[in-house]
Structure 1
Amino acid sequence: MSGLKIAVIGGGSSYTPELIDGIIKRSSELPVESIWLVDIQAGKEKLDIIGDLTKRMIKRAKLDIKVYTTLNRREAIKYADFVITQFRVGGLKARSLDEKLPLKYDVIGQETTGPGGFAKALRTIPVILDICNDIEELASNAWLINFTNPAGIITEAVLKHTNVKTIGLCNVPITMKNNISKILDANSNNIKIDFLGLNHMVYGNKVYLKGRDVTNKVLDIISEGESFTMRNIPDLKWDSKLIKSLEMIPCPYHKYYYMTDEILKEEKENSDTIGTRAKQVMDIEKKLFERYKESNLDTKPKELEKRGGSYYSDAAISLISAIYNDKDEIHTVNVKNEGAISNLSEDIVVEINCLINKSGAKPISVGRMSNRIKGLVEVVKSYELLTVESAVFGDYNKGVLGLSTNPLVPSFTVAKKIFDDIILANKYYLPQFK
């Protein structure tokens, strides 16, 4: 490949400057010829703002890259080498409903986990499959790099129901790596973590600093109360007994499963005072886009870090570079298990360290998953698989069964009430449920 064409679906996202920053930083190894930012009519204003900022960033970097903004998705995808998906069906208003609706049943409301993630997946899967139809027709050799959430479920749907070459991506592993480097006061380049699990349910099995096993040291620091979270997740301290019982590093999203009561209490209090995370993000985005409009802004602004998208550029563009340049680098991504975790099904999508080259992602074998985490992982995967089938075929029964299987939902009765509310609130976006 040479003269790369990169299409970004959801180009009007506030995250896009992260991607452009990553492309600029790697310009010496990625010969990008054109960047196509595509969005829908409702996002045109934001798309135009992002397009102008992107052009200023490219100009400042003195790069010969053409930047296009379009509402024509097929035009953007045609002959693309890489398609990046980062869209949100229904926008932040839909996210707000995802976060509020479960609370009335005393169930956690979160955009990717539990009923909120379930609703988001139902809205998103039909759209991603439609995008994949375009890729198969117009850019059959393209790689789809997906970090549309819930990334694991979306990647599962694409790999099971299309022929598109797909790798799912999340910034949680790289965030964990950077957090660990801070608490060890070490350069993150010297940190290696053996990751295994699912998207937003990934564990650090072993941590190495310059090749030396420092797992126990990290566990001790976290169990003593060191902050270890992300901007969009409450900064509650981990129970030291939990950390010692796991004997591995949980990701910040595990708080929803291991600290459910505390998280629910905080969510309900916030909903009545400062508002849900969606409300906070709306405020952040409003200020961000005012900043993006400034004609003298030609770099990624520091304010973007408040949005929660830190390290996306490093994760996404370094992955693309590893494929294009046949690097044989190790990245933590979402792919089919293929026996890498020997006591999980081979054909399910897991989040795991993989060797990345021009052939794609080859999972690195980790042997058997410990019984300390296997039960929770398998239950959540069962929920994910049922959610995919429900979204693809409009199967209500599989949907309600899948939601009732989710550990954050207390019963089938509550699952049914929540699902009915989700369908009613999202009827415009869920035509598959007639």
Structure 2
Amino acid sequence: MKLVILGGGGFRVPLVFSAVLAARHRVAITEVVLHDADAARLSVMHRVLTAQAERPATDGGARPDGARGSGQAPGPGLRVHATTDLDEAVAGADVIFAAIRVGGTHGRVLDEQVALKHGLLGQETIGPGGLAYALRTLPMMDHVAARIAELAPRAWTINFTNPAGLITEAMRTHLGDRVVGICDTPIGLVRRVARVLGVDPAAESVQVDYLGLNHLGFLHGLHVEGVDRLPELLADDALLGQIEEARTLGLDWVRARGAIPNEYLYYYDYAREATATIRGADQTRGEFLDAQQAAFYLEAARAEDPRALWAHTLAEREATYMAEARDADASRDDDDLQGGGYHEVAVDLMAALLAGERHRMILDVANDGIVPTLVDDAVIEVPCVVSEGTIRAEVPPTPLALDELALVTAVKSADRGIICAARSGSRQRAWHAFAVHPLVDSAAVARDLVDAYIRAHPTIAAVLVEP
């Protein structure tokens, strides 16, 4: 069985591969193909993965990459190879993981800085930075999806290219239901709430009441045998204070909302504070990662065994994630730095689609009437049951509240506008998409943003060639 990792030179690829290795007794992957346009980074990651395959953890303990071992050796016949040729990579694939970053981390730096210079939030997937990221990514992902449809029409594509919901929606034009978006933040939220309440989230008696978009969702309830346990969590400071998202957004505000938001709601609910914190920092998140990764790849290219260097760099990267949303002396929960990330979500989804397992998980799939204000082919984030090669969205018992619905509808309007702009090359459509986004407060500023991103990004200038 052939697994392809698009963006195979990316820094987090060893996490994905370690999860694949640990699950080989569940899914019979015999070939892993790494694809990336950056040959130098691809070479580094190919070396890291080859070392992982040759020397896996066999004691069930921690791997050099920080994931947990299963005691499973990789087994005979696992081939790992790398290519910069997209068609060679995807031809005949059974499953494709897509994690592409067009423009690299330097592109992210520009996305953030242009927004900040206009007094707006500079963040990778939220607000104007996310729309700019999408503009320079969509043409590539349209091309990738078209090649998959031609060369591997029966493959499942599991997308974590950001902005994940928007990109997945665009790829559906070519791949339909055979492309699915994933993100670990909603699943992590559910696991944290379930742990505090002493509930097994995988039990058949448990219903997860979650709904929204990627990086814009709400946990409205956790029903156990028909009884919603969320109210007791919201009423108890000691319990609620154990939830990372509640601490980030404030316990009182979470209670006022009556739901526990995805952690990325911080950027909507505290946009001024987040922007001020980012502008007051020595460097943006993008600048930190750009410098960190440049140093890593340079040193790793010379290292005899780059795995230890990679593990150290990963720990530093994860510990500083969303630092602007926490107090200066606060750190992420230990459990957030171990397992359960998007790489394990991807493997669980792969096992359900290809190996007969059954999983309930929160995925980015077609709306199909679940949110009535959105068209059916809009991609939303919702609990799903996955088994025997099928994905069935579960209609949550609680609809979006009016304020939640307004936010979701406005962001989806911006998302779809950006897809239209990228495909038509229209600056006017891009302007409209930026202007209707809730984190852009002026049509005049929106027009200036489009012009500034065109000046900053040659890739965006090449997309927006029409008035």
Q: Same fold (TM over 0.5)?
A: yes
Pairs within 5 Å for 1:351-366: 351-366=381-396
Q: What amino acid maps onto 1:51 in structure 2?
A: H
- Provide the rounded CA distance (Å) in 1 between the counterparts of 2:454 and 2:444: 16
Q: Out of 131, 143, 161, which is 1:130 matched to?
A: 143
- Structure 2 residue 233 is the aligned partner of structure 1 residue 218: yes
Match of 2:19 in 1: 22
* 166 and 370 in structure 1: CA distance in 2 versus 1, 3 angstrom threshold: same
Match of 1:392 in 2: 423
- Provide the rounded CA distance (Å) in 2 between the counterparts of 1:166 and 1:88: 18
* 363 and 345 in structure 1: CA distance in 2 versus 1, 3 angstrom threshold: same
CA RMSD, 1 decimal: 2.7
Q: CA deviation at 1:283?
A: 4.0
Q: What amino acid maps onto 2:75 in structure 1?
A: L
Indicate if the aligned counterparts of 1:326 and 1:356 stay in contact, CA closer than 8 A.
no
Q: CA deviation at 1:432?
A: 2.5
TM-score (norm 2): 0.83
Partner SS for 1:428:
helix
- Provide the rounded CA distance (Å) in 1 between the counterparts of 2:346 and 2:316: 19
Q: What amino acid maps onto 1:301 in structure 2?
A: A
Match of 1:63 in 2: 75
Partner SS for 1:347:
coil
Q: Out of 198, 221, 226, which is 1:206 matched to?
A: 221
- Structure 2 residue 49 is the aligned partner of structure 1 residue 54: yes
1:96-130 CA distances to partner (integer Å, 9 max, x unpaired)? 01111111111001111111000110011100010
Pairs within 5 Å for 1:175-190: 175-181=188-194, 183-184=196-197
Q: What amino acid maps onto 2:83 in structure 1?
A: T
- Provide the rounded CA distance (Å) in 1 between the counterparts of 2:254 and 2:266: 12
Q: CA deviation at 1:133?
A: 1.6
Pairs within 5 Å for 1:63-82: 63-64=75-76, 65-82=78-95
Q: CA deviation at 1:361?
A: 1.9
- Give the number of aligned pairs: 422
Indicate if the aligned counterparts of 1:53 and 1:297 stay in contact, CA closer than 8 A.
yes
Partner SS for 1:407:
coil
- Structure 2 residue 286 is the aligned partner of structure 1 residue 278: yes
Q: CA deviation at 1:182?
A: 5.8
Q: CA deviation at 1:174?
A: 2.3
- Provide the rounded CA distance (Å) in 2 between the counterparts of 1:302 and 1:173: 26
- Provide the rounded CA distance (Å) in 1 between the counterparts of 2:419 and 2:255: 34
1:387-421 CA distances to partner (integer Å, 9 max, x unpaired)? 11111111211111111111110110000001110
- Structure 2 residue 409 is the aligned partner of structure 1 residue 378: yes
* 121 and 297 in structure 1: CA distance in 2 versus 1, 3 angstrom threshold: closer
1:364-386 CA distances to partner (integer Å, 9 max, x unpaired)? 11253322411111111111111
Pairs within 5 Å for 1:28-427: 28-40=25-37, 43-60=38-55, 61-64=73-76, 65-160=78-173, 162-163=175-176, 165-181=178-194, 183-184=196-197, 193-208=208-223, 213-220=228-235, 226=241, 228-229=243-244, 237-270=248-281, 273=282, 275-286=283-294, 288-289=296-297, 290=299, 293-295=303-305, 297=307, 301=311, 303-308=313-318, 311-342=341-372, 344-366=374-396, 368-427=399-458
* 14 and 220 in structure 1: CA distance in 2 versus 1, 3 angstrom threshold: farther
- Structure 2 residue 432 is the aligned partner of structure 1 residue 432: no
Q: CA deviation at 1:345?
A: 3.1
Q: What amino acid maps onto 1:193 in structure 2?
A: V
Indicate if the aligned counterparts of 1:323 and 1:359 stay in contact, CA closer than 8 A.
yes
Worse-superposed segment, 53-62 or 289-298: 289-298
Q: CA deviation at 1:305?
A: 4.4
Partner SS for 1:144:
strand
* 166 and 296 in structure 1: CA distance in 2 versus 1, 3 angstrom threshold: closer
* 50 and 142 in structure 1: CA distance in 2 versus 1, 3 angstrom threshold: same
TM-score (norm 1): 0.89
Segments of structure 1 that go 5 or more residues without pairing to the other structure are none
